[in-house]
Structure 1
Amino acid sequence: MGRELFESSPEARAVFEEADSVLGFALSRLCFEGPEDVLRQTENAQPAILVTSVAHLRANAQLREARPSFVAGHSLGEYTALVAAQVLDFADALRLARERGRLMQEAGRQNPGGMVAILGLDEALVEEVCRATGTYVANLNCPGQIVVSGGKENVAQAAELARSKGARSTVPLQVSGAFHTPLMQPAVEGMARAVSELSFADPVIPIVANTTARPIESGEAVKAELLDQLCHCIQWHKSVEYMVNEGVSTFTEVGPGQVLTGLIKRISREVELVNTESKRIARS
């Protein structure tokens, strides 16, 4: 992850080198060479995704000079948004992402759980499934794609019940816990302590928050959001709808992969989509 960018862009190379220095180990080598099972561990995956996303941001001259109307990120992606909006510098955001990953991984050990994407059911039916199985809606991603989270057995029951109610398919996610549910509560105290040790500036660009799908414009509000999103649903569908309703006509996905580009296509067919990894511009 990120090797080609590292090799082709001095700005990206500087981001990876700074990350290695800040964390005190060769995160860049882990990104480029693995082993994959170690990279996938939550405490490593979260800083790795952040560093690669910021490398994409800084390697793109147009993005460095851009002044978007809003920034937003899905779950961990909110940390890249904080860097883009100058709420935190990269080093502090990286330390915080590493601690977030460690705490969430530990919470997953304390409260074993999982997540499953349910495809083809509306929100009301998925909520019925959650009530019946003791699970939680964790991500409202786009029409027809909702992620449910909870204890491992509960999630398996939810997947079975969703299929019986007409879900097109159910896809288990490769995660270490029941993210964005009360089962992550053990991570909150440690994150509150980590957040309290940093200085948060007011965003220079409004950040559309994961938990409310509304802009936050103060450093103090950002602190609260980072804690809230650990145990509450990610409102990505509503976040994109809010930005579209506010007049946003172009979305740029910054970072590895094209997941958000695909989700936004299903939320609005009228917007233009740019993806830094594929370097493609597409009409949804």
Structure 2
Amino acid sequence: MTAPTNGSKNGASGLFHGPAAFLFPGQGAQEVGMGRDLCEASEAARHVVDEADKALGFSLSGLMFNGPADELERTINSQPAILTMSLACLAAAAEQTGQPLLTQASFMAGHSLGEYTALAASGSLDIPSAVWLVRERGRLMQGACDQRPGAMAAVLGMDLAPLEEVCKETNTQVANINTPGQIVISGAEEDIARAIKLAAERGAKRAIPLKVSGAFHSYLMGPALDGMLKALDKVSFHNAGVPVVANCSTRPMTAASEIKEELTQQLCGCVRWQESVSYMVNAGVGNFIEFGPGKVLSGMVKRIASGVQTSAVNDFTSARTLATQGMAGS
């Protein structure tokens, strides 16, 4: 399998040695102060943040820059904040290179919330629509958490098949397949407690409850589905300029119709991140660049695939380094 045609532009003469994929993080990556240095140093990043503020009708940037942390961590705020920060990182890097980075990517992908960021970066969504949509997504998800409380746990050192049996016996679901040996499960609190115990009995190295507000990517998000469908119908989607590898199908999507279907499935479905990364590697991608707060996805990529290059752009310094030196990771 070879990389798509647009990836052929991404050769040794570009920023990267060979095809590249752009990655965007999900919820949990937020931190107070994120984006401040970007907006002070980059007009392009400031424009992204200003667009988000205007679309939402309040100072999201003030919350990002100054907190308080407990308000930033609310799902309704953290989702648009992470999306905005990630797009600001991409904009700053593009500004520093003096060329549209879109032509440098063979694929884009994002983890859960990050899938919306990838769609915005690919041109499928404009910034005002994207920030409004993920804030609405956050509101609906929090409402579902309040209506049907749940929990999540990371299970380490257990293969998927036996863990799926554990889930079947405890009425829980596999929510994220992140890396070999790291799978997240989701369900009602008492069911997750039973699943943690059963997984340990059946050979899991560790099973760790996660500090989250609900059972994301599970049937317990069902109450949010109708509202999410209505929200998706209010937004105009365009065909993606760069294929976005879907969380659920783990295949590239470009058509607006298939994008809406993926986002509908993703709310209650499993994020198959390991398979998504493997698909891109098998398609010839050897460079993965993460745009946004933190570098969790870069670490996951290293655990999924050997011999690939990773880099994280999460502030102005790293944006400038990417522009001047290309891949700065390892």
Give TM-score, length-normalised by structure 2. Answer: 0.83
Moved more, 58-67 or 76-85: 58-67
* Offset of residue 87 of structure 1: 0.4
Match of 2:117 among 42, 65, 80: 80
Structure 1 CA distance for aligned equivalents of residues 67 and 211 of structure 2: 17
Structure 2 CA distance for aligned equivalents of residues 169 and 281 of structure 1: 33
Equivalence for 1:250 = 287
Structure 2 CA distance for aligned equivalents of residues 250 and 29 of structure 1: 34
Structure 1 CA distance for aligned equivalents of residues 66 and 167 of structure 2: 39
5+ residue gaps in structure 1?
none
Q: What is the correspondence of 1:54-69 to structure 2 with a 5 Å cutoff?
A: 54-61=87-94, 62=97, 64-67=100-103, 68-69=105-106
**1:126 and 2:163 aligned:** yes
* Offset of residue 37 of structure 1: 1.3
Moved more, 174-183 or 74-83: 174-183
* Offset of residue 216 of structure 1: 1.1
Q: What is the correspondence of 1:32-181 to structure 2 with a 5 Å cutoff?
A: 32-61=65-94, 62=97, 64-67=100-103, 68-181=105-218
Structure 1 CA distance for aligned equivalents of residues 241 and 108 of structure 2: 10
Q: Which amino acid in 2 is paired with 1:282?
A: G
SS of equivalent residue, structure 1 residue 281? coil
Structure 1 CA distance for aligned equivalents of residues 92 and 269 of structure 2: 33
Check whether the contact 1:42–1:175 (CA below 8 A) recurs between aligned residues: no
Match of 1:189 among 220, 226, 230: 226
* Offset of residue 156 of structure 1: 1.8
Q: What is the correspondence of 1:180-219 to structure 2 with a 5 Å cutoff?
A: 180-219=217-256
Equivalence for 1:16 = 49
Report the number of matched residues.
283
5+ residue gaps in structure 2?
1-33, 319-326
Check whether the contact 2:240–2:256 (CA below 8 A) recurs between aligned residues: yes
Check whether the contact 2:102–2:122 (CA below 8 A) recurs between aligned residues: no
Q: Which amino acid in 1 is paired with 2:300?
A: L
SS of equivalent residue, structure 2 residue 111? coil
* Offset of residue 170 of structure 1: 2.4
Check whether the contact 2:178–2:300 (CA below 8 A) recurs between aligned residues: yes
SS of equivalent residue, structure 2 residue 108? coil
Check whether the contact 2:166–2:199 (CA below 8 A) recurs between aligned residues: yes
**1:27 and 2:60 aligned:** yes
Check whether the contact 2:232–2:260 (CA below 8 A) recurs between aligned residues: yes
* Offset of residue 232 of structure 1: 0.5
Seq. identity, %:
52
* Offset of residue 208 of structure 1: 0.6
* Offset of residue 83 of structure 1: 1.1
The structure showing larger relative contact order (alpha-carbon pairs under 8 Å, at least 6 residues apart) is 2
SS of equivalent residue, structure 2 residue 207? strand
Equivalence for 2:31 = none
Give TM-score, length-normalised by structure 1. Answer: 0.96
Q: CA RMSD in A?
A: 1.4
1:132-181 Cα shifts (integer Å, max 9, x gaps): 21110000001010000001111122222222223222232222211111
Equivalence for 2:22 = none
Check whether the contact 1:57–1:64 (CA below 8 A) recurs between aligned residues: no
